[in-house]
Amino acid sequence: MRTEWYKNAVVYQIYPLSFCDANDDGYGDIEGIISKLDYIRDLGVTAIWFSPLYKSPDYDYGYDIADYKAIDEKFGAMEDFDRLLNECHKRDLKVIMDMALNHTSIEHPWFREAVSSPDSPYRDYYIIRKGKREGDELLPPSNWESTFTGSAWERIGDSDDFYLHLFCIEQADLNWENPKVREEVVDILNFWLKKGVDGFRFDVFNMYSKVYPIQDDDDIKPFQKGAKYYVDGPRMHEFLKEMNEKAMSHYDCYTVGESYHPSSRDAKEYIKEENRELDSIFNFDHLNSDNIGGKKFFKKKFDLKEFKRGLFDPQHDSFGEGWNTLVLENHDNQRSVSRFGISTLFHRYEAATMLATITYMGFGIPYIYMGQEIGMTNCHFHNIDEMKDPVSHMVYKLMCSYHMPKRLAFSFIRFGARDHARVPMQWDDSVNAGFNKGHEPWQCMNPNYKKINVKKDLESDKSIYRYFQKVLKIKKENDAAIYGEVKEYDKDSTRVVAYSREYEGKRLFIVGNFLNRKTLYILPRWVREGKILLDNYEDISIKEGVLDLKPYQAVIFEVNK
């Protein structure tokens, strides 16, 4: 029977490689995760999304899957996963599996077979085309670019054939036009559903369908050459409906799609309840409000108005149609307290709690990325070799190939690197922050772990974790915070975020100061009689309806009509 448990869910994302390493081999593992489940549950979380745990050669750290039905050895065995699932369920925590189905690893047996012979039946599992001969030169089949830089095509040995990879060379795009591929996908989903998992996060799902025949993208300034032929493709909705009908609809399963720059029309169609495609998608536009045109390595001055548009437009668009998600961090983004023009030097607690308040009280499911609940910051990387993400290396190389000075290139990478979120979780101030017992972690530690860690946060009067507990409790216990319509106030303000949520006679008003200095805010009249539900400072100053907000202060008011 299908329920709507996801509507008041709170999801915690674990990047397994970096969460907790129980067997001290440098990689996080399932045993480590199990040891921290109480900590996660006590935060007020109701579901965990696990970044890929499957067998993978880790060219893209798990997002290149070599076997969709096997747990990677470094994380444990299938029995360990079964135990994890059981331990989660014992604690009323739902389990959301990550599914990277746009591409497989080139080490997946399908791909190995496919390239072993031009007659292999697996050839048609991938997108393989002849290159273009121009004189002595063999050019790729089209001018499409990988989202990770460079051509999206890689030559197969010394043949004239190329395979498509919209991400790393080691991630070959699947041919979703082939019904056999879609059958395999359904089989994989049912395998995990039968085990009892409760949901899926679909990696870059809106790239499954491409426009055929493959052609060059002749636009002068596309944001990504070829994107108009591979984002929100013509059969996207059909593919999702088919997956839903053949797998998800038979279980009480929640889905969230990670979308790659969806058009707003498509974004809405994917999540409309009556369409039976996905329950929700991620919207990341607000996370681009401090970079240029969504290019994460190119910093620009933070623009609060843009942040608000990115955060709230999807809330308005999806309201009454489907469900929304609320994200500040994940394994692909910098730490939130280290961006958005925030100064964490004196106000890390205030900034982390303000961000959580103004984001999670909105319309949609709060997603918390591990470490965010203690205000983990970006890492001070010294050089490119300390970074493990292939994207950091590819973009750095590309910049240097244009003769950009290395230091400058590195400063760009350091700004937007995904590595910031991928350093090990900081549990305490012992060796390697308690991530393990001393074996060198796969990715270097953030040197600030003696100052910022779970143990210290929990002992502090200003515990970010405890504030998260409060805000999540308010979220879950107030129907207005779940079902209420969002009405924005002072949209043009470059200082504050303010909005109300209203449902069945109850109104909530949320306001947060984005500045690291005081600012005055005139409260709407109806809020003035309200009661304060939460405040990230100990005191609040309101005189004649004017709120004197301290740096990064956030307040939630409750008003009964």
Active site (catalytic) residues? 203, 258
Burial label for 197, CB within 10 Å (0-12, 13-18, 19+), is buried
Q: Which residues contact 265 (CB under 8 A, 6 or more apart)?
A: none
- 100 near ligand NOJ, judged by CB under 6 A: yes
Q: Which is nearer to ligand NOJ, 258 or 350 (CB)?
A: 258
Sole binder of ligand NOJ in the list 58, 173, 332, 558 (CB under 6 A): 332
60 is an interface residue for ligand NOJ by CB under 6 A? yes
- Tokens representing residue 268 in the block: 């809405």
Whether 234 contacts 257, CB under 8 Å = no
Contact 140, 150 (CB under 8 A): no
- Of residues 369 and 468, the one with the C-beta less far from ligand NOJ: 369
First to last CA, the chain: 36
3-state secondary structure 338-395: HCCCCCHHHHHHHHHHHHHHHHHCCCCEEEEECCHHHCCCCCCCCCHHHCCCHHHHHH
* DSSP-assigned letters across all residues of 272-330: -GGG-S-SEE---GGGGTTEETTEEEEE----HHHHHHHHHHHHHHHTTTS--EEES--
Q: How many CA atoms lie within 13 A of 461 on its CB side?
A: 2
Number of residues in contact with ligand NOJ, rule: CB under 6 A?
A: 9
CB of 457 to ligand NOJ, least distance (A): 26
Tell me 444's DSSP state: P
Q: Which is nearer to ligand NOJ, 100 or 454 (CB)?
A: 100
**What's the chain's length in residues?**
561
How far apart CA 131 and CA 137 sit, in angstroms, is 10
Q: Is residue 130 classed exposed, middle or buried when 0-12, 13-18 and 19+ CB atoms within 10 A define those classes?
A: exposed
**Which residue type, as a one-letter code, is found at position 449?**
Y
Asked if 329 touches ligand NOJ (CB under 6 A), the answer is: no
- For position 63 contacting ligand NOJ by CB under 6 A, the verdict is yes
Whichever of 97 and 454 has its CB closer to ligand NOJ, that residue is 97
Q: How far is the CB of 210 from ligand NOJ (least distance, A)?
A: 16
Question: Would you tell me how many other CB atoms lie within 10 Å of the CB of residue 136?
Answer: 5
| Residues in 142-171 at the binding interface with ligand NOJ, rule: CB under 6 A | 167
Q: Which amino acid is at 112?
A: R
CB of 121 to ligand NOJ, least distance (A): 25
Name the minimum Å distance from CB 140 to ligand NOJ.
20
Which residue is at the shortest CB distance from ligand NOJ?
A: 63
Least gap, CB of 329 to ligand NOJ (angstroms):
12
In whole angstroms, give the CA distance from residue 229 to residue 209.
Answer: 9
- Distance in angstroms (rounded) separating the CA atoms of residues 549 and 350: 12
Out of 198, 203, 279, 373, name the contact with ligand NOJ by CB under 6 A: 203
When the beta carbons of 207 and 351 are compared against ligand NOJ, the nearer one is 207
Choose which of 11, 34, 128, 204 interacts with ligand NOJ (CB under 6 A): 204
Rounded to a whole number of angstroms, the minimum distance from the CB of residue 331 to ligand NOJ is 6
Q: Who contacts 397 (Cβ-Cβ below 8 Å, separation ≥6)?
A: none
Residue 258 vs 279, nearer CB to ligand NOJ: 258
Q: How far is the CB of 348 from ligand NOJ (least distance, A)?
A: 26
**Closest approach of ligand NOJ to the CB of residue 209, in Å:** 16
* Contacts of ligand NOJ in 292-311 (CB under 6 A): none
- Span 244-273, contacts to ligand NOJ by CB under 6 A: 258
Residue 331 or 348 having the CB closest to ligand NOJ: 331
Does 419 sit near ligand NOJ (CB under 6 A)? no
CB nearer to ligand NOJ: give 332 or 457: 332
How many CB atoms within 10 Å of residue 545?
12
Q: Does 367 bind ligand NOJ (CB under 6 A)?
A: no
Q: Which residues bind ligand NOJ (CB under 6 A)?
A: 60, 63, 100, 167, 203-204, 258, 331-332
